[in-house]
Structure formats: C-alpha cells, structure tokens
C-alpha cells in the first residue's frame, strides 16, 4: 500500500467509524458489534501507524488517549459561564416567569416563549471549534476562566472532533459531561469498596482532571450539548440552535420542549418528575431558558446568574416501606454499624432494600422498632436513609432493636470505647471483617492505589487465610491466585503487577494506608515530616507526637498504641522485606509562603481542582488542611453545594473564599 492508497483507505475508515460512533452513542441504534467496531478502529490505527504523516487531530484513532498532562493551562472564556439560580418551588418558578414577563414588557416585547430542558447532573464544559475542527475544551472554572482539558475532552466519544457538515469561523458549544448509570456502576464495581464514588457527578469531575488521558478514556464519559454560539445569524432562537447542535453531530438528549405559557412549563416539570428515572443517566431538575437569544443581553445577569434562565430542582423523593430487620456490619476499625433491612421499594429510579442507620443513637432518636413502617429518602438522590417512623401505622408485633453483645463476624464480646456512642469488636487481628476492611483501605486510590484488588478478591484471600494482614499481599504467588474463583492467569499477573507498582508509593501514603485510628491523609503528611521513617515513629514519645501541628494527645496516643503492638512490628518487617518505602529523605519544598501558618478547610465541589489537588497546593505553600470548622480555622474555601461546614464558618466569622479567590491567593 502506497501513501495515496493509504490516504484513501484512511478517509473511508474514518467516515465509517464516525458513522457507527454516531449510531451507537447518539442514535442508540448500533449496527455493528463491539468486536466488529474494534476491528475497524484497529485497521485505522495500524495504517496510521504505518503512515504517521497522515494522522490528523480529528481522526477517531485520537480518542483512545495516552498523553500525560503535568498541569492544565488556564483559559479565559469568551463569555462568562454563569451558574443558574436554583429553586425547589413551583411558586418561585411562577415568580420567575412573571418577573421575566415584566422585564420583557419594558423592552416592548409581548411574547415570551421559553424552552424547558432536563437538567443534567454532570460537569459543565466549553468547546471551541475553528472551521469545524475541535481546537479547545475547557472547564467552567470560576465562570470567567477555566482549565484547558482538551487532551481529556478528545477521549469522549459523544464529542465530535469534527462538526458534521462543517462550520466556518469559530463556534462555541457548551454542555455537560456526565456518566451514564451503567458506566458509573461498572466503574465503581472495579474499585475497592472504600474507594468508590458517591455519585456519577463526583466520578466525572474527578476523571476530567486526571493527568493520564488514557485513564480518562477508560472512564466512559458522555456529553450533552445545550448551548451554541458563533452562527452567522445570531437571531436564531435557542430552540432552533438545539436542532443545529444535533445536525453538527451532538447529542442534546432530545428531551426539551418549547413552552408558550406557564402551564406548558408546569406540565413539562410534572411529566419528567417520574419519567426521568427511566433515562440511562442522572437528571435532577428542569432548566428554563428564554427562547429569544437576542433579548438575553438586554435582560442581563446578576453577579452570578442570568436573569433569563432558572433551574427547577426536584425535591428528594421519599417512599414508605417496612423495616424487616436490623443487621450489624463490622468496619475496618472494628466499629459496629447498624443497617436497616427493608421491604424492597422503588425510590428515585432504583430498588432500595437496605439503608445505613449510622449508629445506635440514631435508632433511639428515630424510636425505631423492627416491623415498623418507615419513610425513607435518597440524600442527593444517591444514598438512601431512614428519616422517620410512621407511628400511626405501627403494628402490634413490633420488636425492639437489640444491641448485639458479640461480634457478628467473629463472635468476640463487644466493647465500648470511652466517650463514643458505638460498640466495637476488640479482636483486631483475627476478625475477618476488620482484616478485609484494612486490606481494602490499604489498596484504595488515596492509599497504595492497588487497582486490581477489589472486594470480591479480598473476600476470597481473607476467607482462605492467604492474607492475614496487608503485608501478606506482597508474598502472594501466581499459582495461588490462579486457583481462586474468577481468577485466571492474566488476572493474577495484573494483580501482581499492581502490587509491584505500589512498592514505589511514598512513605506518607504508606502511613495513611496502614489505617491507624485517627490518622487521615493530612495527619499522615504531618507525621511523615516530623518522623521521616517508621523507625523514628516507633521511637517517638507521646509528648513529641503531641507537639506536632494538628496532632494532639488523642492522635498521639493512637499512634503510640498502634506502633507498639507486636502485630504492627511484624507487619513493618514484612513491608520492609517486600521493598516498600518505610521512610523518606525528601523534605517538602515550598513554592511560596502564601498560606504559611494557615489552616484551610475545603467544602463543596470545586470546578478546577479535585479536593486532593487543592490540598496539595495549600501544603506546597506552607498551609495545613483540616477537616472540621472551628474558631481556629484560618479560612474556608467554598465550592458548589457547600453545606453545613460553610454555614458554621460564616456563623463563627471564619474567612470564606470562593474558588476564584483561592486561586488568586495561590
């Protein structure tokens, strides 16, 4: 094959692949099996590898990722990406509608068409196309500027690398990156139980900021477009622009409606209150926008939100069901957590049959008894919880919830720690539940990040006593692993490779991964700097540890007690023999001292950073991270949906920064 033949074949393959991509992701009418599609893509990759001069940025082969990004460059948005005002009240929707009507009347406009769209629970991004080709993808950031994440955006199959039909000049498209429910469930199943994402939005936000685009591609994210700017005729209405977006090759969800009266809006909201649970992705409300784009500038915006749009959010859904029983789970530190076993009931699009009861005080507060009829709710439409008992429907055969006297896993008599409401199993070294919990914590993403070590495998390893502590992981052999259920040679090799890679994790991570009571990631960092090796930590006195910033006597006693145990000494020996990093000679290099002496707390979701990244930036500038608000807290950085911690900070008079102000302080 010469270069001319190659160019012709590449053009054919690209056209065919993009056609099947559109059929699969946009139209949901696939004509090829995954295997057949992969064969087509591999053909393209092979030819492009043979003729690298023919590779272009819009080629479907460029979606697989592989580039490593050390940092994301900031970009200024051409127009601010404002957030919408939210309401949970239909009455406030009516007030918004009437207020908009009055504003339009002042402009001499009588008609008031609105477009109602579903509100997608994802992450807002901006896409810039030049002469039909994708040249930039950026996060919303603080609304004025965001991060250039083009290398990650290119991996999302529902984002066209080239607009269908082309487009002259520059066109901006905005929309929401999200994860379908099925893809989110698969992602969580592949992760240790303690390291799973709470909801698809969190998983999406974290994925977009990953530095390895190949890993981003594996996260299987999707995109829905809802904004188009840059058409030659700017008088085109918003409703028509949504049609343009579909012609360009985007998915718009197709669940939107032109509303000419308030009753049309109310009907749309009522209709999707139940129907939305049938969709393959999460939606949490309805967005209302003025259809006449040319009038939006005249109406303007407040400091944060446009006056021509509003978001109605559906209230948390509730359901009634029956409490059949309360079982008791054992955590990695031995804590006993009561869990409600419920009559299965449909709630917010899924069947709920279990709910955590948090602790025994919660059971007492609710006045909960077995066989009670209870009301459950999904917090954030993700986590089910029991919120009350229907006392008037209490049956005659109710039974009290009896606190267990022995561990449900190992039968050891339970104990109660001083000043704590809960009970715990003191059998740390032999209780299977605690061993499983410690192994899963050790393998989690923020600890040793052992990707191939999931819950099902850990259950097997602990049950047959191949693993009695985390040190045993590093002495597993391939034949032992191959004999396990659903573990072939390749899976065994993948686990051994992941274990080998984890040996390079630093000492600070290792300290956190040990799961010492009261030692979170921030505390592990402080300990690693004050005691730069496990030997130094073992030799430290309680007084020395108490004098470390943010440690205090409670944490100091916990650490002293842990390292003094014979089982811990044995574990340290195993980890050392396995070649893990039991110390560090590197000291923290400060970029500047802008946060020196400050304790910083993050609350809510940030647009431009994960919580880990933001914390690192503070620490690199001399600051310290805390998890709770007090009068001693230096400042609080508040992102989206900040809750009680923000309220407490404001009440205590603690300085609060927005994400943009935080960046300025960096």
CATH number at residue 390: 2.40.50.140
The number of distinct structural domains making up the chain is 5
CA atoms of 288 and 267, how far apart (whole Å): 13
Whole domain around residue 344: which residue ranges? 318-395
pLDDT band for position 287 (cuts 50, 70, 90) = very high
Only one residue has tokens 């950073």, namely 609
CATH number at residue 656: 3.40.50.10190
For range 568-574, the mean pLDDT:
95
Task: Please indicate, yes or no, if residue 98 is contained in any of the structural domains.
Answer: yes
Out of 29, 101, 102, 119, pick the active-site residue: 119
Between 131-135, 408-412, 614-618, the lowest mean confidence (pLDDT) is in 614-618
Statement to judge: residues 369 and 494 lie in one domain: no
Statement to judge: residues 441 and 563 lie in one domain: yes
158: DSSP letter: T
CATH number at residue 301: 3.30.470.30
Statement to judge: residues 343 and 450 lie in one domain: no
For range 151-174, the mean pLDDT:
90
Strand 74-76 to strand 283-290: parallel, antiparallel, or no bridges (unpaired)? unpaired
Reference 46, options 10, 2, 15; nearest CA is 10
Statement to judge: residues 98 and 174 lie in one domain: yes
pLDDT (0 to 100) of residue 469: 95
CATH number at residue 500: 1.10.150.20
Statement to judge: residues 47 and 125 lie in one domain: no
pLDDT (0 to 100) of residue 522: 74
Q: Which of 77-91, 451-465, 648-662 has the largest mean confidence?
A: 451-465
Q: Which of 577, 608, 633 is the last residue of a domain?
A: 577
Task: Please indicate, yes or no, if residue 379 is contained in any of the structural domains.
Answer: yes
Is residue 193 within 8 A of residue 331, CB to CB? The reply is no
Q: Evaluate if residue 65 carries a pLDDT over 60.
A: no
Reference 581, options 508, 632, 495, 639; nearest CA is 508
Task: Please indicate, yes or no, if residue 606 is contained in any of the structural domains.
Answer: yes
Statement to judge: residues 114 and 46 lie in one domain: no
Q: Which of 187-191, 377-381, 460-464 has the largest mean confidence?
A: 460-464
Statement to judge: residues 102 and 241 lie in one domain: yes
Share of the chain above pLDDT 90, in %: 45
pLDDT band for position 452 (cuts 50, 70, 90) = confident
CATH number at residue 29: 1.10.287.610
Task: Please indicate, yes or no, if residue 159 is contained in any of the structural domains.
Answer: yes
Q: Evaluate if residue 144 carries a pLDDT over 90.
A: no
Statement to judge: residues 36 and 165 lie in one domain: no
Task: Please indicate, yes or no, if residue 287 is contained in any of the structural domains.
Answer: yes
Statement to judge: residues 7 and 150 lie in one domain: no
Active site residue 162: no
Classify residue 340 by burial, with Cβ atoms within 10 Å: 0-12, 13-18, 19+. Answer: buried
Task: Please indicate, yes or no, if residue 76 is contained in any of the structural domains.
Answer: no
Statement to judge: residues 603 and 565 lie in one domain: no
Statement to judge: residues 301 and 328 lie in one domain: no
How wide is the angle at C-alpha 72 spanned by C-alphas 68 and 78, nearest 5°?
135
592: DSSP letter: -
pLDDT (0 to 100) of residue 466: 95
Task: Please indicate, yes or no, if residue 116 is contained in any of the structural domains.
Answer: yes
Statement to judge: residues 44 and 95 lie in one domain: no
pLDDT band for position 589 (cuts 50, 70, 90) = low
Q: Which residue has better confidence, 316 or 577? A: 577
Task: Please indicate, yes or no, if residue 243 is contained in any of the structural domains.
Answer: yes
């Amino acid at each position: 094959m010469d270069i001319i033949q190659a160019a012709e074949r590449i053009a054919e393959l690209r056209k065919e692949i993009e056609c099947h991509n559109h059929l699969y992701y946009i139209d949901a009418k696939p004509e090829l099996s995954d295997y057949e599609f992969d064969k087509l893509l591999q053909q393209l990759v092979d030819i492009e590898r043979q003729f690298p001069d023919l590779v272009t940025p819009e080629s479907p082969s460029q979606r697989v990722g592989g580039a490593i990004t050390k940092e994301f460059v900031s970009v200024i948005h051409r127009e601010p990406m404002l957030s919408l005002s939210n309401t949970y009240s239909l009455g406030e929707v009516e007030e918004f509608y009437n207020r908009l009507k009055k504003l339009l009347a002042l402009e001499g406009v009588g008609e008031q068409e609105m477009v109602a769209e579903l509100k997608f629970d994802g992450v807002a991004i901006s896409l810039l196309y030049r002469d039909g080709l994708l040249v930039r993808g950026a996060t919303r950031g603080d609304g004025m500027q965001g991060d250039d994440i083009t290398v990650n955006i290119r991996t999302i199959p529902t984002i066209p690398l080239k607009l269908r039909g082309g487009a002259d000049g520059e066109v901006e498209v905005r929309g929401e990156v999200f994860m379908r429910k099925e893809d989110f469930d698969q992602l969580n199943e592949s992760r240790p139980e303690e390291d799973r994402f709470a909801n698809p939005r969190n998983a999406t936000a974290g994925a977009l900021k990953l530095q390895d685009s190949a890993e981003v591609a594996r996260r299987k994210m999707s995109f829905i477009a809802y904004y188009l700017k840059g058409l030659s005729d700017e008088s085109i209405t918003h409703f028509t622009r949504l049609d343009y977006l579909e012609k360009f090759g985007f998915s718009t969800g197709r669940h939107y409606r032109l509303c000419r009266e308030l009753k049309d809006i109310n009907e749309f909201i009522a209709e999707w209150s139940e129907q939305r649970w049938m969709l393959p992705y999460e939606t949490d409300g309805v967005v209302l926008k003025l259809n006449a784009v040319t009038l939006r500038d005249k109406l303007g915006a407040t400091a944060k939100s446009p006056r021509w749009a509003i978001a109605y959010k559906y209230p948390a859904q509730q359901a009634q069901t029956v409490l059949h029983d309360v079982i008791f789970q054992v955590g990695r530190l031995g804590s006993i957590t009561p869990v409600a076993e419920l009559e299965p009931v449909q709630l917010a699009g899924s069947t709920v049959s279990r709910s955590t009861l948090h602790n025994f005080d919660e059971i007492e507060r609710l006045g909960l008894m077995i066989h009670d009829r209870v009301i459950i709710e999904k917090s954030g439409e993700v986590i089910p919880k029991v919120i009350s008992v229907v006392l008037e429907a209490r049956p005659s055969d109710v039974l009290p919830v009896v606190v267990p006297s022995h561990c449900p896993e190992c039968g050891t008599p339970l104990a109660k720690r001083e000043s704590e409401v809960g009970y715990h199993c003191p059998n740390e070294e032999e209780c299977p539940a605690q061993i499983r919990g410690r192994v899963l914590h050790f393998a989690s993403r923020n600890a040793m990040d052992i990707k191939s070590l999931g819950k099902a495998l850990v259950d097997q390893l602990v049950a047959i006593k191949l693993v009695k502590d985390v040190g045993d992981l590093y002495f597993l052999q391939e034949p032992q692993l191959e004999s396990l259920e659903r573990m072939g040679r390749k899976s065994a090799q993948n686990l051994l490779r992941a274990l080998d890679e984890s040996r390079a994790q630093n000492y600070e991570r290792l300290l956190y991964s040990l799961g010492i009571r009261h030692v979170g990631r921030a505390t592990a960092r402080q300990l690693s700097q004050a005691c730069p090796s496990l030997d130094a930590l073992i030799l430290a006195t309680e007084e020395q540890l108490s004098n470390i910033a943010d440690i205090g006597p409670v944490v100091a006693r916990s650490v002293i007690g842990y390292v003094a145990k014979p089982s811990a000494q044995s574990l340290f020996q195993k980890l050392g023999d396995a070649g893990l990093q039991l110390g560090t000679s590197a000291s923290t290099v400060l970029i500047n001292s802008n946060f020196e002496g400050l304790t910083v707390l993050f609350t809510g979701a940030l647009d431009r950073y994960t919580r880990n990244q933001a914390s690192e930036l503070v620490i690199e500038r001399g600051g310290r991270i805390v998890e709770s608000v007090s009068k001693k807290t230096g400042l609080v950085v508040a992102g989206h949906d900040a809750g009680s911690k923000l309220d407490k900070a404001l009440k205590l008079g603690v300085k609060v920064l927005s994400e943009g102000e935080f960046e300025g302080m960096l």
